[in-house]
């Protein structure tokens, strides 16, 4: 068993295990975990300095997850835009293959928390192969993104099989892998994995650092190992209330990422996913942060601040040109000129409110 597999096996998965380490009401969290599962790797657990800090909020269940019922379960309409159960075809030239149903650590703000880690949502090899066959018979697809779940929880052998099958499809030009392994399971970024990825260029990796404290020596080494293998690495940060919703935190993060040859790619406004309302900020907060970063950071270190529009209408950059109206219901302009209402309801910090 490899080191990363040993660490994954040692992950914390129950509120009772959390209660052995921190003062909390395990019984109150059982109902949350019954709907939205819990897993925290030892690496990520060790980053928690105190309950309620920026790391804690990202990985420890919160009863407010069960009290956010205004938002949708699948706000991006992925299930409707999936010609197959694990292949989402939202843009004409791109297909998202959901090749894994689990993650090393379950983020409490996950866009797919309706399914990732949940019983009955496992992904079979046959379903992955069916997704690849769909790509092969759809010539308009140039770009394939491997996501899930965590694609890098599969073995090198299985990943190699998937990548080689995709590389044999003439019209597939680009392969991308979305992963949080460098952050929560850095040992997974092995020399053998990097050697495999080196053989599959053009291949891009997008990872997911949200806070400077996540840049541990192990995480930084994982990023450098990917970069040294010639893999372009981007980062997609989610703007999270109480975690990183201030310019100083994000400036520190983006500066450090760029030094590692990790390009800050997107700053995502929180999707309108049920169970995540306590993480949401208003769009005004994101715009103020971006204004503070400009002129302070190199353009290379400034990501695009984007909203993934409800209903699967696509990502839109939040810049003055795309914001028609702000308020409790913002009006944004979609890429094709469509005016889309974006409700800015937030979840109260008081679950009983």
What pLDDT score does 345 carry? 74
Choosing from 64, 241, 308, 313, which is the catalytic residue?
A: 308
What pLDDT score does 121 carry? 85
Q: Verify whether residue 91 is a known catalytic residue.
A: yes
Choosing from 62, 74, 245, 271, which is the catalytic residue?
A: 271
In angstroms, rounded to a whole number, what is the distance separating the alpha carbons of residues 182 and 257?
12
Residue spans per domain, the chain: 3-343
The model's pTM is: 0.92
What pLDDT score does 353 carry? 54
Q: Verify whether residue 107 is a known catalytic residue.
A: yes
Least Cα distance to 187 among 5, 341, 1 occurs for 5
What pLDDT score does 337 carry? 80
Return the structure tokens found at 353: 């409110």
Query: Under CATH, to which class is 3-343 assigned?
Result: alpha beta
Other CB atoms within a 10 A radius of the CB of residue 30 amount to 14
Q: Verify whether residue 308 is a known catalytic residue.
A: yes
220 Rama class: left (phi>0) / alpha (psi -120 to 50) / beta? alpha
What pLDDT score does 268 carry? 97
In angstroms, rounded to a whole number, what is the distance separating the alpha carbons of residues 305 and 61?
27
Phi, psi of 145 (to 5 degrees): -110, 125
Q: Verify whether residue 112 is a known catalytic residue.
A: yes
Q: Is 103 annotated as a binding residue?
A: yes
What pLDDT score does 351 carry? 61
Q: Verify whether residue 347 is a known catalytic residue.
A: no
pLDDT per 10-residue tile (average), the chain, 353 residues: 97 96 92 96 97 98 89 92 95 97 97 92 94 98 97 98 98 98 98 97 98 98 98 98 98 98 97 94 95 90 95 87 87 85 79 59
Sign of CA dihedral 239, 214, 73, 51: negative
Q: Verify whether residue 110 is a known catalytic residue.
A: yes
Q: For strands 87-91 and 323-325, give the pairing.
A: unpaired
Q: Is 118 annotated as a binding residue?
A: no
Choosing from 57, 64, 108, 112, which is the catalytic residue?
A: 112
């Amino acid at each position: 068993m490899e080191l990363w597999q040993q660490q994954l096996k040692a992950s914390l998965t129950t509120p009772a295990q959390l209660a052995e380490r921190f003062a909390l009401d395990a019984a109150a969290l059982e109902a949350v975990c019954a709907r939205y599962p819990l897993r925290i790797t030892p690496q990520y657990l060790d980053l928690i300095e105190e309950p309620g800090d920026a790391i804690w909020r990202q990985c420890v269940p919160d009863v407010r997850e069960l009290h956010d019922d205004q938002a949708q379960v699948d706000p991006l309409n992925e299930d409707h835009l999936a010609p197959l159960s694990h292949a989402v075809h939202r843009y004409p030239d791109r297909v998202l293959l959901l090749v894994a149903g689990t993650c090393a650590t379950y983020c409490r703000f996950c866009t797919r928390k309706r399914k990732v880690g949940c019983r009955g949502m496992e992904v079979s090899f046959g379903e992955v192969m069916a997704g690849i066959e769909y790509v092969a018979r759809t010539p308009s697809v140039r770009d394939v993104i491997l996501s899930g779940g965590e694609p890098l929880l599969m073995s090198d052998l299985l990943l190699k099989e998937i990548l080689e099958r995709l590389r044999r499809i003439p019209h597939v030009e680009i392969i991308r892998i979305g992963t949080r392994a460098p952050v929560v399971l850095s040992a997974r970024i092995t020399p053998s994995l990097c050697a495999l990825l080196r053989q599959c260029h053009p291949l891009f990796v997008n990872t997911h650092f949200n806070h400077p404290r996540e840049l541990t020596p192990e995480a930084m080494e994982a990023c450098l190992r990917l970069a040294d293998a010639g893999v372009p690495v981007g980062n997609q940060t989610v703007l999270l209330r109480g975690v990183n919703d201030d310019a100083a935190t994000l400036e520190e993060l983006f500066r450090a990422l760029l030094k590692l040859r990790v390009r800050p790619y997107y700053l995502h406004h929180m999707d309108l996913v049920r169970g995540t309302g306590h993480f949401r900020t208003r769009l005004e907060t994101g715009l103020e942060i971006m204004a503070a970063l400009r002129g302070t950071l190199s353009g290379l270190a400034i990501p695009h601040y984007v909203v993934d529009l409800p209903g699967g209408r696509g990502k839109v950059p939040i810049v003055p040109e795309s914001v028609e109206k702000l308020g409790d219901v913002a009006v944004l302009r979609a890429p094709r000129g469509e005016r889309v209402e974006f409700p800015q309801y937030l979840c109260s910090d008081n679950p009983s409110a």
